[in-house]
Amino acid sequence: MTVTSVRKDPRALTMTITAEFDSPIGPVWQMWENPRLLEKWWGPPTYPATVVDHDLTPGGRVTYFMTGPEGDQPRGWWRVIAVEAPHRLEFEDGFADEAGNPDLEMPTMTTRVTLTEQIDGGTRMAIEATFPSVEAMERLAAMGMEEGIRLAVGQIDDLLRAAA
Amino acid sequence: MAPASRRGIEQSETARPDEVPIWYHSKPRLIYNPMVVDSDQADRVFRALADATRRDIVRRAMRGEHSVSALAGQYPMSFAAVQKHVAVLERAHLVIKQRRGREQLVHGNIDAIRDAQHLLDEFEEVWRSRIDRFGEVLAEVNEGATT
C-alpha cells in the first residue's frame, strides 16, 4: 500500500491522507505539473479526466472535464493559491458550468499538497483537503452521489442494450 | 412491494449515519466498484432511474429546490405525469417532497448524510483511489525513464 496514513478531523472538516512513493521527488511533482499525467489519475476509470487549461502559478487556473459512461461531461476547475515546485501546491477546487465557467452556487474546497524527500530516496506526499462548512460537504457529497447515479444509469442502459 | 421492504424504507428515514439507504451509502463504491450494489432500496433506485425524465428531475433536484409546477414546465407532458414521476422518485428516497402553501417543493435527498465523519470517509475513498492510480502512473513514468 502506498497510503501510509489517513487523519480525519470532523470538527475542522479536514482530511489528511499521506502516501509514500518509491520515486525521487521530481517525477512525483510531474504528476501534478504535467497535465497529460494529471489526467491519468484525477478521474476514476469510469469518469476519465481531460485537462484543458493548466497554469500552475499563483492565481492561475486549471480547468478540466470528465467524461462519463453516458457521455456526460461534468466540469471542474482549480484556482492555484500557492505553488513552490517541487514541494508545495495549494489550490481551491470547484465545479464549473457547461461553458467551463466556475459554478459559484456550488461550494469549493481547498487542497494542499506537500511533497517531502525521504532519506531512502523516496517521496512522501501529504494531501490535506479542507471543506468550508458541513453544508458544503453535504452538497459536494450530493454531487458525488449524482455521479454515482449517472454511473448506475449508464449500467442500466448497458443492461437494456444487452437484453435487446 | 413486500411489506418488509416498505418497513425498511421507513426505518431509514430516521436512520443513524451507518444506516442511510444503500444507494447513498454506496456512492463512492458505485463509482469505483460498480458491482457493490444490493438491497431492495437499490432495486427501487435503479427502477426509478430507468426513465430519462426522472433522471433529469433528480439532477435538477440535487442542485436545488423546485416546485412540481416549475418542473412540469420543463417537460412536454402533463402536470399529473410529472407528479407521478416525482412520486416514484420519492418512493425510491431520491427526492423529498414538501408542501409549502399551495406549492409542492421537491429537493434532492441529502438529509440522510448529515454526518461529517461519514462524509470524510467517503472523501477518503475518493483520494485512496486517486492515490492508487497516481502510484501506478508514477511507476510507469519511472520505468519509462530508466529503460
Angstroms from A131 CA to nearest CA on chain B: 10
Give the predicted TM-score (pTM) of the model.
Answer: 0.58
Using an 8 Å Cβ cutoff, are A140 and A131 in contact? yes
The pLDDT score that the predictor gives to residue A139 is: 65
Q: Peptide bond before A10: cis, by omega within 30 degrees of 0?
A: no
Angstroms from B18 CA to nearest CA on chain A: 15
Cβ-based neighbours of A24, under 8 Å, separated by 6 or more:
A117, A121, A123
The highest-level CATH class for domain B3-11+20-110 is mainly alpha
Domain that holds residue A114: 3-163
* Cβ distance of A152 and B46 shorter than 8 Å: yes
* Cβ distance of A152 and B123 shorter than 8 Å: no
**Which grid cell is A139?**
452538497
Query: Each residue of A107-128: pLDDT tens digit?
Result: 788 999 999 999 999 999 999 9
* Cβ distance of A145 and B24 shorter than 8 Å: yes
Using an 8 Å Cβ cutoff, are B77 and B114 in contact? no
Q: What is the CATH number of the domain that holds A14?
A: 3.30.530.20
Query: Each residue of A6-39: pLDDT tens digit?
Result: 887 777 778 899 999 999 999 999 999 999 999 9
Residues on chain B touching A36 (C-beta within 8 angstroms): none
Describe the strand order of the beta sheet including B95-100 as a list of residue ranges: B66-67, B103-108, B95-100
The pLDDT score that the predictor gives to residue B125 is: 81
Looking at the structure of chain A, the number of domains it has is: 1
